[in-house]
Amino acid sequence: MKENKEASAETGELAAIVAESVQWQSAHYREPYYSRRTAKLPAKLRRLGILDLPREVRILDTCCGRGEALAALLGFGFRNLEGIDATPHQVSPASFTLHHGDATRMPFPDQSFDLVLNLHALHHLGDADGVSRFLSECHRVLKPGGTLAIVDFPGSPQIRLLFWLLRRRFLVVTGGLRNFVEILDEEWSYLRPYLRQWPRVELALQRAQFATIRKRSRFFLYYWTMRRGATGA
């Protein structure tokens, strides 16, 4: 998902979340790179602690794409699976439900889900204000005691330097890196303010109405699992 260019994330204006560009979709779903990324999802879900949850929990994957994470969860025995994305997708067979909509204004009643996921998509919300709106909406749709799990890039100096080099085609020597740079270029309009505002984004995550239960950092990604208070606060 990306923010409407008519309301730039850098200005702090409230912007609608709209579908990704055709160019982004072409790069993101290109084989064999798409399948290679999808194959890494079970390990990421395990690092977040998701695979330890009871199989009957109701799960929502936000910014879910074609439902790749939901398909992985289905393979581990989870059955109450839904996703929401700004780009409409069809699932065949209908093993889970995909909704077309905005992750900052979700069409679900309060306290609907036990778990909300956001994998590699928090930066699609653009800036700290967009992230804060998303976190508030996650709190609303989660049941008391429910879990929010996020994987994304940190805005570290190392990441910013790496992206600077990649966007100038330094070190881009493999097909996988060339594909990643195509995606990176398409995401730059909202990834750039996310990285620039990383201290505010991180503060929004820390100050959200959740308790951190697991946080792991790697060079390229962070894994952050939080829980809503059991009293509904």
Rounded Cα distance, 136 and 143, in Å: 13
The C-alpha angle 205, 209, 214, rounded to 5 degrees, equals: 60
- Long-range Cβ contact pairs of 191-195 (< 8 A, separation 24 or more): 191/123, 191/153, 191/163, 192/10, 193/9, 193/10, 193/126, 193/127, 194/9, 194/122, 194/123, 194/125, 194/126, 194/127, 194/131, 194/153, 194/155, 195/123, 195/153, 195/155, 195/159, 195/160, 195/163
Which sequence spans correspond to the domains of the chain? 2-228
Please list the ranges in the chain whose pLDDT falls under 50: 1-16
DSSP-assigned beta bridge partners for residue 117: 61, 149
Q: What is the pLDDT of residue 90?
A: 72
Q: What are phi and psi of 34, to 5 degrees?
A: -60, -45
pTM for the whole structure: 0.89
Assigned token pair, 181: 């740079």
DSSP-assigned beta bridge partners for residue 147: 115, 227
Contact residues for 128 (Cβ-Cβ < 8 A; gap 6+): 197, 200, 201, 203, 204
Q: What is the pLDDT of residue 19?
A: 67
Q: What is the pLDDT of residue 135?
A: 98
pLDDT one-digit tens code per residue, 156-192: 999 999 999 999 999 899 999 999 999 999 999 999 9
Rounded Cα distance, 175 and 197, in Å: 30
CATH code at 2-228: 3.40.50.150
Instruction: Decide: 199 and 205 in contact? Cβ < 8 Å.
Output: no
